[in-house]
Amino acid sequence: MKSSYRAMQVGQGRKLELVERPVPTPESGEVLIAVEACGVCGADANDIDRVDPALTPPRVPGHEVVGRIVALGANTPSIWKVGSRVGVGRLGGHCNECSDCRRGRFNLCRKQPVVGSACDGGYAEMMIARATGLVSIPKELLSVEAAPILCAGIATFNALKKSGAEAGDTVAILGIGGLGHMALQYAWKMGFRVVAVGRGAGIAMDAMGLGAHRYVDTERENAAEILNALGGARAILTTTGNPTAVAALMPALQPDGRLVVLGIGKEPLQVSTGYLVTGERHVIGSITGSSYENEKALDFSVLTGVRPLIEIMPLERAQEAVERMRSGAATFRIVLTMEDGTNADQ
């Protein structure tokens, strides 16, 4: 193992800079991962914008990480071995002590680090991770395929499971981007009638190819009216942070239907209390998932052929990748790789 590794850290002006760092030693309950791939997520941009400029050393973003364990800290569970291919998502590993952990709600543990924000992430050749946050990666998936599933995949997979919809029900997916393109595939494979709702005709062919039975262009059509003509939506999964767009679609929600919110917006969502009460409708949030749930999303992806649509870029182009993601020009997801032969475990 080399004594140093390359990392893209948040430097001056909140720009990513390539640096060399000494290889760390995992502490109790931790592992050291040689990173093979790391997805670029919209949340990474927020992490970069909000990073503490006084942090020493500067933060390394990235929370869709796939690699292999190269060192084990003390008291690491025996299921993890040197050489195991593992992933780490947004949630960096539950504490096993808080009230939510004791209830088995590990994704709601408030004492776990947020990867790429509260601790260093995967825009690097090496990364320290809590063992409780590790996800086993199926051999059938390439590392670049598995990486986005650890965030965009699990988020949409779990949200659909919480939606209350059953096979044959109509489910609307609002926002066809990095999250939405995964939601379309999962919804189709789960047996729902899938209606994709987006802006502009340019995404229509992609949406239909990913599993939508109907695409609604909100620039030309009234999505709520179209959904109501189909009998209404049993569930609406929204990946957008635009509360106006979400509110415009809510009149299509069936009685006892559920709006599942994934996209986080700066403005409040306006919902009529009478509309909720008279139809016993639900508005719920959904946050990613536990390591176990992440493994279920990965396994489901293998079984049904769900894969993210990705662009691949090398680690040193991470700043370009983030800017491309911010602009909306990326083909759904971008994944950084360490394939230049200098990975620290070689």
Predicted confidence at residue 1, as pLDDT, reads 78
Confidence of residue 343 (pLDDT cuts 50, 70, 90): very low
Average pLDDT for 302-310 = 98
Residue with the two structure tokens 């609002």: 174
* Residue extent(s) of CATH 3.40.50.720 domains in the chain: 163-285
Predicted confidence at residue 174, as pLDDT, reads 98
Average pLDDT for 301-320 = 98
Instruction: Bin 188: left if φ > 0, else alpha if -120 < ψ < 50, else beta.
Output: alpha
C-alpha distances in Å from residue 171, one per residue of 66, 137, 166: 31, 29, 9
Supply the pTM of this predicted model. Answer: 0.94
C-alpha distances in Å from residue 245, one per residue of 19, 216, 239, 326: 41, 13, 11, 20
Helix (H, G, I), strand (E, B) or coil at 327: helix
Distance CA 86, CA 67 (A): 6
Predicted confidence at residue 346, as pLDDT, reads 34
Q: What is the mean pLDDT of the chain?
A: 95
Q: Is the pLDDT of residue 341 over 80?
A: no
Alpha-carbon Rg for the chain, nearest whole angstrom, is: 20
**Nearest-5° angle of CA 104, CA 85, CA 28?**
60
CATH class (in words) of the domain with range 163-285: alpha beta
* Residue extent(s) of CATH 3.90.180.10 domains in the chain: 4-150+289-337
What six digits make up the tokens of 6? 């390359």
Is the peptide bond prior to 113 cis by the omega test (within 30 degrees of 0)? no
- How much of the chain, in percent, has pLDDT values that exceed 70? 98
The pLDDT tens digits of the residues spanning 151-170 come to: 999 999 999 999 999 999 99
Confidence of residue 2 (pLDDT cuts 50, 70, 90): confident
- Per 3-state DSSP, what percentage of the chain is helix, strand, and coil (rounded to 5)? 30, 25, 40
Average pLDDT for 188-213 = 96
- How much of the chain, in percent, has pLDDT values that exceed 90? 93
Distance CA 250, CA 236 (A): 8
Q: Is the pLDDT of residue 342 over 50?
A: no
Helix count (H) and strand count (E) of the chain? 11, 15
**Nearest-5° angle of CA 314, CA 315, CA 319?**
105
Distance CA 113, CA 91 (A): 6
Distance CA 85, CA 180 (A): 27
Predicted confidence at residue 339, as pLDDT, reads 74
Distance CA 250, CA 272 (A): 10
Q: Give CATH superfamily name and number for 4-150+289-337.
A: Medium-chain alcohol dehydrogenases, catalytic domain (3.90.180.10)
Average pLDDT for 98-122 = 96
Helix (H, G, I), strand (E, B) or coil at 298: helix
The pLDDT tens digits of the residues spanning 42-82 come to: 999 999 999 998 899 999 999 999 999 999 999 999 999 99
Residue type at 152 in one-letter notation:
A
Confidence of residue 340 (pLDDT cuts 50, 70, 90): low
Element (H, E) at 68: strand 65-72
The pLDDT tens digits of the residues spanning 226-246 come to: 999 999 999 999 999 999 999
Strand partners, 127: 33
> By the 8 A CB rule, do 117 and 59 touch?
yes
Strand partners, 217: 198
Strand partners, 314: 337
